[in-house]
């Protein structure tokens, strides 16, 4: 597979990995027709202490014709990666460049002071014209610092990181960044970072910046136990932070109406009832959230309440116009509740130029066609559905990539890994997830070419289409305990 390097931080991949069309329907109704995908980044690192070549856990953000994605590169068994990479298109997804963040870990160019990097997310501040890559930097296996690498050239290159906060002997985890991109907002250009301090019982932490990420100030926040937040900003400047509680047993929200100076909450979105995903795959029940042009916030996660006996997970959704009152949980109708399909790790997109009953939603997710499987028999696959009427109706699911064997993935101490989250963004009406594509390999630690897990995008994006499958208010069929044990405070680095 040819790979052309322009310089140590930035390169282009001129290769398309096209998977043949299957031209059939599965028993569940999913269209088994993989779309053409293009590899946009390859793991360049060679340290034998982590898995190579591996890229996992992508996030994306788009603004105008630009979309930027970030991902872990060179995954370690017990937390973090060799560095965080990024991929960028400035022409609506037609062409892509890629690179790796400078000044972060000892493997970066130039090297940074930290051993590993994890939990990447990406945001754009249009007021200051700055792209910001947010990561958790690790010393050994401990989350030590929250960093932001800034780009002032449209996401093509990034500068050495700015430090948001350093742990005082505790354990930071699961950070996320967002910026206020609404020109009419009173807090236009503010940026917000959220994470939890696992060493203090998953204590909620929130910081803000008003100068394009150059400096950061702590916010006043409730002393709540949380993990896996996905903050979004409404057009009126209100910050809404959908997030799990510290045990991943419920989805909650925190709200700021004063530009991130202080937050209130938590408000309950819903409890989480989840089927245990088989195949020794690493899955956390973390929310994915987005907001439309009218300020409606959409939150999705995987949940089994609509399946008899909690036999598998659906992707479910709740919405809010104020971040404090939330709609009843509904099931996105990807497959019938009688199917054997298990759905998990959702990545939601909302086209920010749309709203209300014409809001364009796109949802990527991983699934097993048969929930009852093992690490050697599970068929891990990436699917996509969309709605052009605010979630009232949905399209038939499209198979984007896969199936993969779990054993082709890096094996962490929490299971085989594609990521604790994934992401999708709209550019000119088309959806662009940065997806993780795996090919056959042994994926052995210390054998630097044994893994074949790369970042890729669907060629030309995923085109809009009107839905034909109505969202129904399905009856709750399972009210028992979640199959995923809620013990000590969760950690997912």
Confidence of residue 28 (pLDDT cuts 50, 70, 90): very low
pLDDT in tens, 398-446: 999 999 999 999 999 999 999 999 999 999 999 999 999 999 888 999 8
Examine the pLDDT at 177 and tell me if it is beyond 80.
Answer: yes
Higher per-residue pLDDT: 278 or 485: 278
The pLDDT of residue 488: 57
Examine the pLDDT at 357 and tell me if it is beyond 60.
Answer: yes
CB 153 within 8 Å of CB 9: no
pLDDT in tens, 328-346: 999 999 999 999 999 999 9
Confidence of residue 484 (pLDDT cuts 50, 70, 90): confident
Q: How far is CA 485 from the centre of its chain?
A: 23
Examine the pLDDT at 383 and tell me if it is beyond 80.
Answer: yes
The pLDDT of residue 445: 95
Handedness of CA 471, 474, 479, 481 (dihedral sign): negative
The pLDDT of residue 24: 34
Secondary structure string (H, E, C) spanning 219-238: CECCCCEEECCCCEECCCCC
CATH number at residue 70: 2.120.10.10
Residue 81: inside a domain, yes or no?
A: yes
Residue 489: inside a domain, yes or no?
A: no
CB 347 within 8 Å of CB 288: yes
- Other beta carbons less than 10 A from residue 337's beta carbon: 16
Confidence of residue 160 (pLDDT cuts 50, 70, 90): very high
Cα 231 from Cα 303, distance rounded (Å): 21
The pLDDT of residue 125: 98
- CA count, 13 A, side-chain hemisphere, 186: 8
Residue 276: inside a domain, yes or no?
A: yes
The pLDDT of residue 103: 98
User: Tokens for 368?
Assistant: 């097993």
Which SS3 state, helix, strand or coil, does residue 217 take? strand
Mean of per-residue pLDDT scores for the chain:
92
Average pLDDT over residues 439-465: 93
Examine the pLDDT at 493 and tell me if it is beyond 60.
Answer: yes
Residue 325: inside a domain, yes or no?
A: yes
Cα 167 from Cα 420, distance rounded (Å): 22
Higher per-residue pLDDT: 484 or 257: 257
34-38, 169-173, 248-252, 375-379: range with lowest mean pLDDT: 34-38
Residue 483: inside a domain, yes or no?
A: no
Examine the pLDDT at 16 and tell me if it is beyond 50.
Answer: no
**Residues ≥6 apart with Cβ < 8 Å to 367:** 334, 341, 342, 343, 344, 380, 381, 382, 383
pLDDT in tens, 184-238: 999 999 999 999 999 999 999 999 999 999 999 999 999 999 999 999 999 999 9
Q: Which residues form the domain of 431?
A: 4-470
Examine the pLDDT at 22 and tell me if it is beyond 50.
Answer: no
User: Tokens for 33?
Assistant: 């027709």
The pLDDT of residue 293: 98
CB 27 within 8 Å of CB 44: no
The pLDDT of residue 222: 98
Structural domain total, the chain: 1
Residue 117: inside a domain, yes or no?
A: yes
Enumerate the H helices of 120-206 as residue ranges. none
Confidence of residue 3 (pLDDT cuts 50, 70, 90): very low
148-166: burial string, b at 16+ Cβ within 10 Å, e else: bbbbeebbbbbeebbebbe
Q: How far is CA 125 from the centre of its chain?
A: 19
- CA count, 13 A, side-chain hemisphere, 413: 10
The pLDDT of residue 9: 39
Examine the pLDDT at 491 and tell me if it is beyond 90.
Answer: no
Percentage of residues in the chain with pLDDT exceeding 70?
A: 92
Residue 88: inside a domain, yes or no?
A: yes
Confidence of residue 492 (pLDDT cuts 50, 70, 90): confident
Residue 57: inside a domain, yes or no?
A: yes
Which SS3 state, helix, strand or coil, does residue 477 take? coil
Which SS3 state, helix, strand or coil, does residue 406 take? helix
The pLDDT of residue 268: 98
Examine the pLDDT at 25 and tell me if it is beyond 70.
Answer: no
């Amino acid at each position: 597979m040819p790979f052309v390097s322009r310089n140590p931080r930035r390169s282009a991949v001129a290769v398309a990995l096209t998977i043949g069309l299957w031209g059939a329907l599965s028993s569940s109704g999913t269209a088994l027709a993989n779309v053409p995908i293009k590899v946009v980044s390859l793991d360049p690192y060679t340290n034998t202490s982590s898995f190579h070549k591996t890229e996992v856990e992508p996030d994306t953000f788009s603004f105008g014709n630009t979309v930027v994605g970030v991902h872990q590169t060179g995954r370690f068994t017990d937390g973090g990666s060799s560095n965080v990479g990024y991929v960028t298109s400035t022409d609506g997804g037609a062409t892509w460049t890629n690179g790796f963040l400078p000044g972060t870990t000892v493997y970066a160019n130039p090297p940074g002071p930290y051993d590993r990097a994890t939990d990447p997310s990406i945001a754009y501040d249009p007021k200051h014209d700055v792209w910001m890559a947010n990561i958790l930097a690790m010393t050994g296996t401990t989350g030590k610092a929250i960093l932001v690498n800034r780009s002032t050239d449209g996401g093509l290159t990034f500068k050495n990181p700015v430090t948001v906060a350093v742990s005082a002997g505790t354990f930071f985890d699961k950070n996320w960044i967002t910026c206020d991109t609404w020109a009419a907002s009173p807090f236009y250009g503010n940026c917000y970072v959220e994470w939890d301090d696992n060493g203090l019982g998953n204590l909620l932490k929130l910081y803000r910046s008003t100068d394009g990420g150059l400096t950061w100030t702590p916010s006043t926040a409730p002393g709540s136990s949380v993990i896996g937040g996905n903050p979004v900003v409404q057009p009126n400047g209100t910050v809404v932070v959908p997030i799990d509680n510290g045990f991943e047993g419920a989805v909650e929200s925190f709200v700021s109406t004063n530009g991130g100076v202080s937050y209130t909450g938590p408000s309950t979105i819903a409890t989480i009832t989840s089927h245990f995903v088989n195949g020794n795959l690493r899955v956390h029940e973390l929310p994915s959230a987005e907001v439309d042009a009218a300020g409606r916030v959409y939150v999705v996660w995987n949940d089994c309440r609509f399946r008899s006996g909690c036999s598998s997970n659906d992707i479910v959704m709740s919405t809010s116009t104020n971040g404090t009152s939330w709609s009843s949980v509904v099931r996105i109708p990807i497959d019938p509740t009688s199917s054997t399909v298990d759905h998990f790790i959702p990545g939601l997109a909302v086209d920010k130029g749309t709203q209300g009953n014409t809001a364009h939603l796109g949802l990527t997710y991983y699934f097993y066609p048969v929930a009852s499987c093992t690490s050697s028999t599970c068929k891990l696959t990436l699917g996509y559905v969309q709605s052009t009427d605010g979630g009232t109706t949905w399209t038939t699911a499209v198979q984007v990539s896969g199936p993969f064997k779990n054993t082709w993935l890096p094996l962490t101490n929490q299971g085989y890994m594609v990521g604790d989250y994934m992401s999708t963004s709209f550019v000119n009406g088309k959806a662009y997830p940065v997806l993780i594509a795996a090919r056959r390999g042994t994926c052995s630690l210390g054998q630097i070419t044994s893994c074949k897990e790369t970042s890729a995008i669907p060629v030309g994006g995923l085109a809009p289409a009107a839905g034909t499958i109505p969202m129904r208010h399905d009856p709750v069929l399972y009210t028992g305990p979640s199959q995923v044990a809620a013990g000590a405070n969760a950690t997912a680095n």
